Amino acid sequence: MAWNFPMVVLAATLVGAGSSVFHPESSRVARMASAGQHGLAQSIFQVGGNIGSSIGPLLAALLIVPHGQRSVIWVSAAALIGMLILYGVSRWYAANLTSTRGRQSLHKVDNGLNRGQVFGALSILLLLIFSKFFYLASLNSYFTFFLIDRFHVDVQQAQYSLFVFLAGVATGTLVGGPIGDRIGRKRVIWGSILGTAPFSLALPYVNLEWTLILVFCAGAMIASAFPAIIVYAQELMPGKTGTVSGLFFGLAFGMGGIGAAGLGRLADATSIAFVYHLCAWLPVLGLVAFFLPDMRQRPAA
């Protein structure tokens, strides 16, 4: 219902503020409910948002494109349902926060690392967050424009194609956490981000059909890192689940926003094709994950 651009910005800011308040504490809830499978719990928690994001382009294609922007008001019913569900979750959280289960899931455990090692590992994770979310921003924000520019598809087809990418992101998020529980989070982080490079580097050069295949694979690969990164960071700073989650979710959203703005400016100055050729190299930064300390053998909270 916003009637001018400042009101649109204000509304978007409120949506972002709500998301920012929600994520740190909800990560604590997910960890508390995990029964020791922290990666699986984090994946399930994050994939809810990914599924919602992947459905967004479908709603745009099926609802907003044919019926206009005002039709998006019906989607706000989902937010109301979410509020009702979270009321029940908050009651469970309050009841369990001081229980034996709650204390065991959130208490401090010595990970055997000194302050310098923790700081170094956090610095590497922040660089990986930059790589991951700048690349995701190039696809989230500009993939439809890339398809229209390169293959001359219409807006509706471009939105369907964006759904393919976001479905890959949801798939990767769901599998990344439980795989990290089994083989170690460092391996997942390293393999996920660096493993995206073959798909991202090939993406600007193939036809439309292969573009959709590669973008699904790239989305699945690079998204599988984030649940592992969050849980790895929580284990780096045990007992500070909310702080760590807030830091990394905040940086993730912030990097995505900065990336979208910066890449849009770059696309205006050069071309959308140049942006995709440049961003294709970002996953190569996954090489730095080799220097993360391996905590597979260390006790976890």
pLDDT tens column, 38-61: 899 999 988 888 787 778 777 777
Exposure string for 125-144, b = 16+ CB within 10 A, e = fewer: bbebbbbbbbbbbbbbbbbb
99 CB contacts (<8 Å, ≥6 apart)?
none
Percent of the chain surpassing pLDDT 70: 94
What pTM, to 2 d.p., does this model score?
Answer: 0.81
- Are the C-beta atoms of 185 and 295 separated by less than 8 Å? yes
Query: How far is Cα 105 from Cα 110, in angstroms, rounded to an integer?
Result: 14
Q: Which two tokens stand for residue 234?
A: 């929580």
**21-32 pLDDT per residue, tens:** 888 888 888 888
Reply yes or no on whether the pLDDT at 296 is more than 60: no
Reply yes or no on whether the pLDDT at 299 is more than 60: no
Q: Which of these CATH numbers, 1.20.1250.20, 3.20.20.70, 1.10.150.20, 3.40.50.720, describes 5-291? A: 1.20.1250.20
111 CB contacts (<8 Å, ≥6 apart)?
235, 236, 238, 295, 298, 299
**Domain residue limits, the chain:** 5-291
175 CB contacts (<8 Å, ≥6 apart)?
43, 220, 224
